[in-house]
Amino acid sequence: MTTHRPSTETAPPDVDVLIIGAGLSGLYQLIRVRELGLSARVIERGSDVGGTWYWNRYPGARFDSESYSYGFSFSKELLEEWDWSEHFAPQPETLRYIGFVADKFDLRRDVLFNRLVRTAVWDEPGRRWVLTLDTGETMSARFLVTAIGALSVPTLPKIPGIGTFQGRACHTAEWPHEPVRFEGLRVAVIGTGATGVQTIQEVAKTAASLTVFQRTPNWCAPLHNRPITPEEQRTLKASYPDIFRRCRESVSGFIHNPDPRSALEVSPEEREAFWEQRYAEPGFGIWVGNFRDVLSNREANALMSDFVARKIRQRVKDPATAEKLIPKNHGFGTRRLPLETRYYEVYNQPNVTLVDLHETPIEAITPTGIRTTGRQFAFDMIIFATGFDALTGAYDQIDIRGTGGQRLKDQWKGGAKTFFGIQNAGFPNLLMVMGPMGALGNIPRSIEYNVEWVTGLLRHLRDHRLTRVEVRPEGVQAWMDVCRKASAGLLSNEVNSWMTGVNFNVEGKTERVLARYSGTGPDYRAKADAVAAGGYRELDLA
Ligand code: NA7
């Protein structure tokens, strides 16, 4: 522990802790900070709590984690009181759940809604963060906790004429609050990631016509969602301790865990039977519960890809369309796997057309629709399922200045460098929940751990009457080495996606970088626990 000179504090901060974001991370952090007896406020740009689930109201939005593995685990009472209605709950239900949590713990009274943080500046003499908001307000806090999400800044494609369209245009993450009906409408969807797939399969049910503009097809697998029966509900509630134990012990926080066998050491019949079983089961088992080498061994991955390609060919009637839907430039599971419900069958419907942008790229968006090199399409509505400025985007939106006026955005050029996704050198008292290079996976499981670690640190500072914490550059370096080692050998490193830091719609994000921690959850927690148990030696405390 290094001792700094005592602060020459002049203006005391308004509150002990300011939290940005009232999604799952920010709300849980608020609960924990209150328990420490610290004063806190949450600043939220939306008009209510919910974060991701507040913004992503697009048709068909739902999570791919089993509902009962997704909710908060910290309160037995909450677990007892809340009934999930489906194995994979839809967005409106998840938003209701977050509202229920906010009511139960009386959280809204500390949330300042409809406010966007524009700048956050470290005031060294005052040992506080000073924030300016879009409302013109200024607020200060001893500690700043960013709970602003890893996938929360939507990006639109760079297509000429995008602003000229006269019909309705909407990004999935900025969906209107009132219901949108598609009956009688000619609808276009651009983008076929996890969001696009969910949107397409829903819009296809009612739209007069749906045209899907696909640049890169993704490998998708069935979600197998269904309602939770009353009997299942009882069993699930009784097994919560076991469910959360499984999540804690698993590689990525889901109830699924890799099979310890190699795909290459079993017989072809055994392999096929195993994959058939996984394909028939709900959730991410086929992705994170596959043979241990499917995501790292080229041959194993090629066999798996071939298995799923055969499924696509069986499900899509027109062979030419099926071929377009089969990824050719990356193997199964090397990008985020979209889970689907009759997604492939959508392309058998007479009202649905697939446009392969590799064959006929988009030239422009026009007042009446979309023009490709092949033809002009007329639409009433264009839906952009074009993704996010992932992982670092939400940080880049705020002008964050640390010691000596340095900008976080500059420090992260070429890829974020952090300490467990929680701290940055040169940015004292800034604590990130789900910051870049932290553990991802089943997000709420990572959030809970991340918040509890931050809370432990705040408790330590409070108990030792300390008011300043900053990670040393060596601490960051050591964590980045862990991240680099963990990512070695993963086939996903060779593929463009948000998981490798690529988004062609964002300046400076056209090259693949080490963009995330891809090690296991248990390993992440063991290492972070060791930092706390060791008295935070990697951090300068004062
Ligand atoms: P993704 O997975 O980043 O998908 C974005 C999609 O948009 C993807 O298919 C892109 O194609 C496509 N895209 C982006 N720009 C264009 C242009 N200019 N033209 C055509 N197509 C374009 O975002 P999602 O919202 O689906 O999912 C993000 C995460 O949120 C998801 O992983 C979950 O964890 C939750 P590309 O592949 O770049 O060729």
Separation of 52 CA from ligand 1 center, angstroms? Answer: 16
Give residue 161 CA to ligand 1 midpoint distance, Å. Answer: 20
Residue 355's DSSP bridge partners are 213
Rounded distance, CA 501 to CA 85, Å? 35
For atom 36 of ligand 1, the residue with the nearest CA is 216
Reported confidence tier of residue 10, pLDDT bands at 50, 70, 90: low
The CA–CA distances, whole Å, from 134 to 42, 114, 119, 350, 394 equal 15, 9, 9, 48, 15
Ligand 1 pocket check: which of 215, 329, 355, 356 to mutate, most ligand atoms within 8 Å of Cβ? 215
Query: Which region holds residue 508: left if phi is over 0, alpha if psi is between -120 and 50, else beta?
Result: left
pLDDT in tens, 54-72: 999 999 999 999 999 999 9
Q: Is residue 327 in contact with ligand 1, taking CB distance under 6 Å?
A: no
Is 499 touching ligand 1 by the criterion CB < 6 Å? no
Q: What's the CA-to-centroid distance between 155 and ligand 1, angstroms?
A: 9
Q: How far apart are CA 128 and CA 143, in angstroms?
A: 7
Which residue's CA is the closest to the ligand 1 atom numbered 18?
Answer: 157
Q: What is the DSSP letter of 494?
A: G
CA dist list (Å): 21 to 144, 334, 458, 470: 11, 30, 19, 22
Q: Does the beta carbon of 157 sit less than 6 angstroms from any atom of ligand 1?
A: yes
What is the C-alpha separation between 138 and 151, in angstroms, rounded?
26
Q: Is the pLDDT reported for residue 8 higher than 60? A: no
Pocket test for ligand 1, best of 195, 197, 220, 509 (most atoms within 8 A of CB): 195
- What is the C-alpha to C-alpha distance for residues 233 and 524, in angstroms, rounded to an integer? 32
CA of 386 to the centre of ligand 1 (A): 4
Residue nearest to atom 4 of ligand 1 (CA): 193
Residue-averaged pLDDT of the chain: 97
Mean pLDDT of 183-191: 98
Q: What is the mean pLDDT of residues 198-205?
A: 98
Q: How far is the CA of 154 from the centre of ligand 1 (A)?
A: 10
Cβ of 95 closer than 6 Å to ligand 1, yes or no, is no
391: tokens are 């992982």
Question: Which one of 62, 288, 386, 446 would you pick to mutate in the ligand 1 pocket, going by the greatest count of ligand atoms within 8 A of its CB?
Answer: 386
387: left (phi over 0), alpha (psi -120 to 50) or beta: left
Alpha-carbon distance 127 to 428, whole Å?
A: 8
Give CA–CA dist 193/196, Å, rounded.
5
State both tokens at 494.
């060779």
Confidence category of residue 183, pLDDT binned at 50, 70, 90? very high
Mean pLDDT of 442-454: 98
Give me ligand 1 centre to Cα 222, in Å.
19
- Tell how far the Cα of 414 is from the centroid of ligand 1, in angstroms: 21
Is residue 3 pLDDT above 80, yes or no?
Answer: no
What residues pair up with 188 in beta bridges, in sequence order? 211, 382
| Atom 23 (ligand 1) nearest CA | 387
With a 6 Å cutoff on the Cβ, whether 167 touches ligand 1 is no
Q: Helix, strand, or coil here: 412? A: coil
The Cα angle at residue 20 between residues 19 and 26, in degrees rounded to 5: 65
* Cα separation, 204 vs 346, whole angstroms: 7
Beta strands in 373-507 (DSSP E): 376-378, 381-384, 399-401, 430-432, 469-471
What is the rounded radius of gyration, in angstroms, for the C-alpha atoms of the chain? Answer: 24
Collapse the DSSP code of 468 into the 3-class scheme (helix H, G, I; strand E, B; otherwise coil) and give the result. Answer: coil
pLDDT in tens, 280-298: 999 999 999 999 999 999 9
Range 478-493 average pLDDT:
97
Q: Is the pLDDT of residue 5 over 70?
A: no
Token match 């494609």: residue?
157
Tally of CA atoms within 13 A in the half-sphere of 464 that contains its CB? 16
pTM: 0.96
Instruction: Please tell me the distance between residue 60's alpha carbon and the centre of ligand 1 in angstroms.
Output: 16
- Give alpha helix (H) positions in 290-442: 298-315, 319-325, 343-346, 393-396, 408-411
Beta bridge partners of 117: 133
Q: Is 192 in the pocket of ligand 1 (CB under 6 A)?
A: yes
151 CB under 6 A from ligand 1? yes
Contact 447, 28 (CB under 8 A): yes
Q: Tell whether ligand 1 has an atom less than 6 A from the beta carbon of residue 161.
A: no
At residue 11, the pLDDT reads 76
Decide whether any atom of ligand 1 lies within 6 Å of the 385 Cβ: yes
Alpha-carbon span 527 to 263, nearest angstrom: 30
Q: How far is the CA of 191 from the centre of ligand 1 (A)?
A: 5
pLDDT computed for residue 1 by the predictor: 38
Distance 134 CA to ligand 1 centre (A): 29
Per-residue CA distances from 188 to 184, 194, 324, 362, 377 (Å)? 13, 16, 18, 12, 9
Distance separating alpha carbons of residues 73 and 514, to the nearest angstrom? 31
Distance separating alpha carbons of residues 64 and 219, to the nearest angstrom? 15
Task: Please give the C-alpha separations between residue 166 and each of 83, 211, 442, in angstroms, as whole numbers.
Answer: 43, 17, 39
SS3 state at 222: strand
Residue with tokens 């713990």: 105
- Alpha carbon of 117 to ligand 1 centroid (Å): 26
pLDDT, position 378: 98
Cβ proximity of 225 and 256 under 8 Å: no
Q: What is the whole-number distance in angstroms between the Cα of residue 468 and the centre of ligand 1? A: 40
Is 190 near ligand 1, meaning CB less than 6 Å away?
Answer: yes
Q: What's the 336 CA to ligand 1 centre distance in angstroms? A: 10
Cα–Cα distance, 367 to 229 (Å, whole number): 49
